[in-house]
Structure 1
Amino acid sequence: MAHSPAPTTPRFRSGAGRLCLDFLRTLRLRGMDGATEELPTPEALAAWVAQLGPYPEDMNIPAPAQDVLRQAQRLREAVYTLLTAARGESGPAGCPPEDRALLNRAAAGAPPVPVLDEDGSVTYTAADPVRAVLTHIARDALDLATSAALERVRACAGPHCAAWFLDTSRPGNRRWCSMGACGNQAKKSAWRTKHAAGVAG
């Protein structure tokens, strides 16, 4: 009897609410012991674009050159610097000139192009799929940093998580980057603490 293939688990985390915030997550545990680079190779960057970019699932995303990987990593850090400044007292004007210039250069590129298909659906294409998504990320970061939505950017309350996310909940009091991950871990930890206290009492 033939077995259907097991569903594949997405390689990268998503669900931050904005593409630029998902991109920030590729440096896992930023600022903590055990910080991990999730885009160490051009192939990893291509895989991220294939998973989180707007392209069709069957579209081939070739691995970019090594210099494009370095540009992507620098862009990610510039996005972090911009959003950190924007969330502070200085606002987006506090972004250092070199990071602002990098973001502006990236945003000036050609983003993924929407194409209306015969069946009425829209698909996206690009001559350079990876660079196009980097342009999209830069534009998304500039938009977020200068919009009212910035007030809804939160840092996950998980003690072993440094992910940022856009809180779209109506009350605006979401605490976790994901209830399925950090939220459940916090609940389990609280239950164990409460249970241990009950046993000790």
Structure 2
Amino acid sequence: MALSPVPPVPRFRSGSGRICLDFMRTLRLRGLDGAAEELDTPEALTAWVVQLGPYPDGTVVPVPSEAVLHQAQEVREAVHALLTAARGDSGPAGCPAHERALLNEAAARATPMPVLDEHGTLTYAAADPIGAVVADIARDALTLATSPALERVRACSGPTCAAWFLDMSRPGTRRWCSMDTCGNQAKKTTWRTRNPSGTTA
């Protein structure tokens, strides 16, 4: 009997609850030793848009120039600057002027267009697939920074994570970016601390 193909492991992390937070995660371990740039090539940016963008499978996403990659990285860092300021005492008004202007400029561009196909399925398309997603990210960041949802933005409690996420749990007490990764690891660490012999008795 033929086995079903194993789906590929996603290259980039998702599940933060907002596209701007997912995009922030592409600078892995931000602020920690071992911080790593995941968008290190134009091909990596294309791969991120293919994986996390709103486009249907099979959409051709061209590989951008180095300049476009640099602009996307700048938008990502501006998102981080805005949300950091917004979560502080000064609120979104504390966002540095350069980063604010950069996000406003990016947000003014065309975002992915909704398209209803003949089967009644809503898909998305764009003349510039990468630019449209970056515009969507900028708009999402501006909206999040000025909305009540900002109070639900958390930093993962994992000691080697630093990813931000939107806590959508009812009590608002979620601690981990993902129970499958950081949450599970924390449980294992707690169990080992309480059971140094490795027994359950």
Match of 2:67 in 1: 67
Offset at residue 7 of structure 1 (A): 1.4
Indicate yes or no: 2:44 matched with 1:44. Answer: yes
- For residues 75-154 of structure 1, what are the structure 2 equivalents within 5 Å? 75-154=75-154
Provide closer, same or farther for how the CA distance between residues 120 and 33 of structure 1 changes in structure 2, counting only shifts above 3 A: same
CA distance in 1, matches of 2:88, 2:3: 54
CA distance in 2, matches of 1:163, 1:57: 27
CA distance in 1, matches of 2:64, 2:132: 12
Offset at residue 2 of structure 1 (A): 5.1
Offset at residue 88 of structure 1 (A): 0.3
Offset at residue 5 of structure 1 (A): 3.0
Alignment coverage as a number of residue pairs: 199
Listed as ranges, the gaps of 5+ residues in structure 2 are none
Indicate yes or no: 2:21 matched with 1:28. Answer: no
Indicate yes or no: 2:146 matched with 1:159. Answer: no
Give the residue type in structure 2 aligned to 1:23: F
- Encode CA deviations 1:18-56: one digit per residue, 9 max, x unaligned: 000000000000000000000000000000000000000
CA distance in 2, matches of 1:9, 1:60: 20
Q: Secondary structure at the match of 1:196?
A: coil
CA distance in 2, matches of 1:160, 1:108: 36
Q: Secondary structure at the match of 2:75?
A: helix
CA distance in 2, matches of 1:184, 1:122: 35
CA distance in 2, matches of 1:109, 1:62: 18
CA distance in 2, matches of 1:6, 1:193: 35
Identity of aligned residues (%): 71
CA distance in 1, matches of 2:4, 2:119: 29
Most deviating of 174-183 and 114-123: 114-123
Give the residue type in structure 1 aligned to 2:89: E
Give the residue type in structure 2 aligned to 1:98: H
Provide closer, same or farther for how the CA distance between residues 2 and 158 of structure 1 changes in structure 2, counting only shifts above 3 A: same
Provide closer, same or farther for how the CA distance between residues 196 and 131 of structure 1 changes in structure 2, counting only shifts above 3 A: same
CA distance in 2, matches of 1:116, 1:98: 38
Offset at residue 170 of structure 1 (A): 0.2
CA distance in 1, matches of 2:6, 2:152: 37
Provide closer, same or farther for how the CA distance between residues 132 and 187 of structure 1 changes in structure 2, counting only shifts above 3 A: same
- Encode CA deviations 1:81-117: one digit per residue, 9 max, x unaligned: 0000000000000001000000000000000000111
RMSD: 1.3
Match of 1:189 in 2: 189
CA distance in 1, matches of 2:179, 2:4: 29
State the TM-score, normalizing by the size of structure 2: 0.96
CA distance in 1, matches of 2:99, 2:14: 24
State the TM-score, normalizing by the size of structure 1: 0.96
